[in-house]
Amino acid sequence: MHANLSLQQSPPFSVPARFFISAPLFGLAAALVMLWYGPEIFTNRWTPELLAVTHFLTLGFLAMSMCGAMMQLMPVLMGIMIPRPIFFSSIIHASLFLGSASLGIAWLLHINTLFIIAMASLAFSFSVFILMATERLLRSKNQHATRGMMLLALLALFITAIFGLYLAMGYANQTWPLSRHLTDLHLSWGLLGWVALLIMAVAYQVIPMFQITDEYPVLHQRWIGWIVFVTLLTLSLTYFWPLTILNTITSALLATCLLTFAVTTLWVLQTRRRQLADLTMNFWQLAMISLIFLALTWLIPTLIQANTPIFLLGVLMIFGFAMSTVNGMMYKIFPFLIWLHLSTHNKNLRDQGKRESQVKVPHMRKIIPETAGLWQFRFHLASLILLALATNWPQWFYYPAALLFIISQLTLIFNLSNAVRFYNLKIIELELNIHPH
Ligand code: HEM
């Protein structure tokens, strides 16, 4: 199963762990803000509370875990060495944490200076991350479609960040005009470029490898990423050169690409050779079903020139598609890494003839107990359904959705920190075995 993995290149566990553990803290922050401010945050797109929630999720949860996943997956899947991984992960993580937190708090408490701190931290974090990752990918000889898609996703993140920083100037400095016409462009590059392209790039490799399925069709791997990217470029042109027909065509094409990816992924998942129940599989399926709903909810009104339900689209994209995928991956990557690091320690001890100092490493499926993860999946699923309904009937569904969202994030924090605690205990045990006094 792990034949293609470059295990020796794996950075220390603390490198990805700090990103993954921080992500649900921001998820929890978003859920608490929702509960505190109530359904009024859905009254219009520009309420500061909604913008804070959106960025706690897109930066604090998603970008946080996606940067962490890339720092881990580039070495393990593609054999790419990350230079000084602890140093780079520390500075990228700390500044992303500070930037995401201060951007959200700046909106909630209306503090202009915090916007400046947020902008400086996020600009620093993304510059270091994008430069480091791009340089490594460009130098790599790896020929897999994932490499090209990751480069496109990084370029999309760069464009998103530039628009985001420009828009944030309008909040930090009252004399700076708030360029609202750029907001849709910023969010399109963020959600359809950075988020969707990176998820596709990673899915091409991790689904066949971890779910033991057939490969994605070659045509799909080769073209979808480019079509999405070029269509986003064309969509961007329509903002400077407004042409309704071009806008309609590009939106329809993007929605069709998402639909194609979702249907292909569900089909690939069907070819799974191992039929054991698998939590990550549940999350993948949920993510793809959300993506199908999203694509149709976008495509149909676009074709008949009706209004698109933007809150529902946001919930399906951010919460249903992106967060479900990342959440599911955490349950695969986290136990796998713990198992990998402990097994490597054991192997090194065996090589040094210190067999008796080894520690017992449980099966990967036992590191985060399946039932604990399954409960979190149920809370996540229930909060997603309720939140989708709340976009239309907030008086009925908003508070139950927010409460379940809180429970889901608390359960995720609990599950991940238990796994980290387990790992730390094993490392202490190893130390004691090697140096008994
Ligand atoms: C450097 C990082 C970022 C900064 C400084 C930033 C800043 C902003 C600002 C100032 C707005 C409000 C625009 C307005 O009032 O019209 C906004 C909106 C938005 N941003 Fe970001 N952003 C960043 C990254 C991202 C990323 C990575 C994503 C998605 C993956 C994202 C998704 C969104 C969305 C969905 C909205 C629209 C929210 C709505 O319509 O209610 N942002 N961003």
Atom of ligand 1 nearest to the CA of 161: 1
Helix-then-strand count for the chain, H and E = 16, 0
Consecutive H or E run containing 223: helix 218-240
Taking CA atoms only, the protein residue closest to ligand 1 atom 33 is 187
Nearest partner of 150 among 38, 86, 229, judged by Cα: 229
Atom of ligand 1 nearest to the CA of 59: 27
Three-class SS of residue 12? coil
Taking CA atoms only, the protein residue closest to ligand 1 atom 18 is 183
Question: How many angstroms does the Cα of residue 36 sit away from the middle of ligand 1?
Answer: 21
Question: How many angstroms does the Cα of residue 55 sit away from the middle of ligand 1?
Answer: 7
Taking CA atoms only, the protein residue closest to ligand 1 atom 1 is 161
Question: How many angstroms does the Cα of residue 430 sit away from the middle of ligand 1?
Answer: 45
CA distance 66 to 76: 15
Q: Give ligand 1 pocket residues (Cβ under 6 A).
A: 45-46, 50-51, 54-55, 58-59, 62-63, 119, 122, 160-161, 164-165, 167-168, 171, 180, 183, 186-187, 190-191, 194-195
State pLDDT tens for residues 71-109.
999 998 888 989 899 999 999 999 999 999 999 999 999
CA distance 37 to 33: 6
Question: How many angstroms does the Cα of residue 195 sit away from the middle of ligand 1?
Answer: 13
Taking CA atoms only, the protein residue closest to ligand 1 atom 29 is 190
- CA 33 and chain centroid, separation: 20
| Most distant CA pair in the chain, distance | 75
Nearest partner of 185 among 153, 159, 224, judged by Cα: 159
Three-class SS of residue 381? helix
Task: Choose the residue to mutate in 186, 197, 232, 308 for probing ligand 1, maximizing ligand atoms within 8 Å of C-beta.
Answer: 186
CA distance 230 to 189: 11
In sign, the C-alpha dihedral spanning 423, 425, 428, 434 is negative
With beta carbons less than 8 A apart as the criterion, state whether 361 and 346 touch: yes
Question: How many angstroms does the Cα of residue 164 sit away from the middle of ligand 1?
Answer: 5
Question: How many angstroms does the Cα of residue 221 sit away from the middle of ligand 1?
Answer: 29
Task: Choose the residue to mutate in 187, 188, 194, 313 for probing ligand 1, maximizing ligand atoms within 8 Å of C-beta.
Answer: 187
pLDDT at residue 5, as a whole number = 57
Residue 84, class by beta-carbon neighbours within 10 Å (0-12 exposed, 13-18 middle, 19+ buried)? exposed
CA distance 119 to 346: 44
| Tens digit of each residue's pLDDT, the chain (437 residues) | 444 455 667 889 999 999 999 999 999 999 999 999 999 998 899 999 999 999 999 999 999 999 999 999 999 888 898 989 999 999 999 999 999 999 999 999 999 999 999 999 999 999 999 999 999 999 998 888 999 999 999 999 999 999 999 999 999 998 988 888 899 999 999 999 999 999 999 999 999 998 899 999 999 999 999 999 999 999 998 887 888 899 899 999 999 999 999 999 999 999 998 777 789 999 999 999 999 999 999 999 999 989 999 999 999 999 999 999 999 999 999 999 999 899 888 888 888 888 888 888 888 888 898 899 999 999 999 999 999 999 999 999 999 999 999 999 999 999 999 999 999 999 999 888 877 76
CA distance 332 to 46: 36
C-alpha dihedral (107, 109, 113, 117), degrees to nearest 10: -60
pLDDT at residue 2, as a whole number = 47
Domain spans, the chain: 272-428
pLDDT at residue 7, as a whole number = 62
Taking CA atoms only, the protein residue closest to ligand 1 atom 32 is 187
Question: How many angstroms does the Cα of residue 186 sit away from the middle of ligand 1?
Answer: 6
Q: Could you give the angle at which helices 14-37 and 48-55 cross, rounded to 10 degrees?
A: 160
Question: How many angstroms does the Cα of residue 248 sit away from the middle of ligand 1?
Answer: 23
pTM of the model: 0.95
Q: Could you give the angle at which helices 145-172 and 64-78 cross, rounded to 10 degrees?
A: 160
Question: How many angstroms does the Cα of residue 291 sit away from the middle of ligand 1?
Answer: 21
pLDDT at residue 6, as a whole number = 56
Question: How many angstroms does the Cα of residue 219 sit away from the middle of ligand 1?
Answer: 33
